[in-house]
Amino acid sequence: MSSPTRTAVPASARFARLPSLTGMRFFAAFLVFLFHSTLPPYTPFSGDSAESVTFAVSKAGWLGVGFFFVLSGFVLTWSSRPGDRPRQFWRRRLVKIYPNHVVTFVAALLLFAWAKSTWQQGLPNLLLLHTWIPDPKTFQSVNPPSWSLSVEVIFYLCFPWLHRVMQRIRPERLWLWVGILGAAVFVVPAVAYAALPDSPVMPLGFRASVSQYWFVWQLPPFRMLEFAVGILMARIVMTGRWINFRVAPALLLVALAYLVELLWAPWLFGMSAVTLIPVALLIAAMATTDIAGRRSVLRHRAFVWLGEVSFAFYLVHDITVHVFVDRFGLSPVHGAPAAVGLLALEAGISVFFSWLLHIGVEQPMMNRFGRTRPPLPRDSAGGTGSTGSDDKPAEAVQTH
Between CA 8 and CA 317 the distance in angstroms is: 40
Judge whether 400 lies within some domain: no
pLDDT of the residue at 29: 98
Judge whether 389 lies within some domain: no
pLDDT of the residue at 204: 80
Give CA separation, 138 vs 102, 131, 141, 205, in Å. 16, 8, 5, 18
Rounded mean pLDDT, 79-102: 91
Judge whether 380 lies within some domain: no
Judge whether 183 lies within some domain: yes
Rounded mean pLDDT, 175-190: 98
111-128 pLDDT per residue, tens: 998 888 899 999 999 999
Query: 170: Cβ–Cβ under 8 A, 6 or more apart, which residues?
Result: none
Structural domain for 29, as ranges:
11-369
Could you tell me the pLDDT band of residue 177, with boundaries at 50, 70 and 90? Answer: very high
Number of domains in the chain: 1
Judge whether 239 lies within some domain: yes
pLDDT of the residue at 66: 97
Judge whether 122 lies within some domain: yes
Residue 400 has pLDDT above 80, yes or no: no
Question: Which of 75-84, 140-149, 176-185, 212-221 has the lowest average pLDDT?
Answer: 75-84
Judge whether 391 lies within some domain: no
186-241 pLDDT per residue, tens: 999 999 999 999 999 998 879 999 999 999 999 999 999 999 999 999 999 999 99
240-297 pLDDT per residue, tens: 999 989 999 999 999 999 999 999 999 999 999 999 999 999 999 999 999 999 999 9
Residue 134 has pLDDT above 50, yes or no: yes
Is 142 within 8 Å of 149 (Cβ atoms)?
no
Judge whether 356 lies within some domain: yes
Average pLDDT, the chain: 89
5 DSSP 8-state letter: P
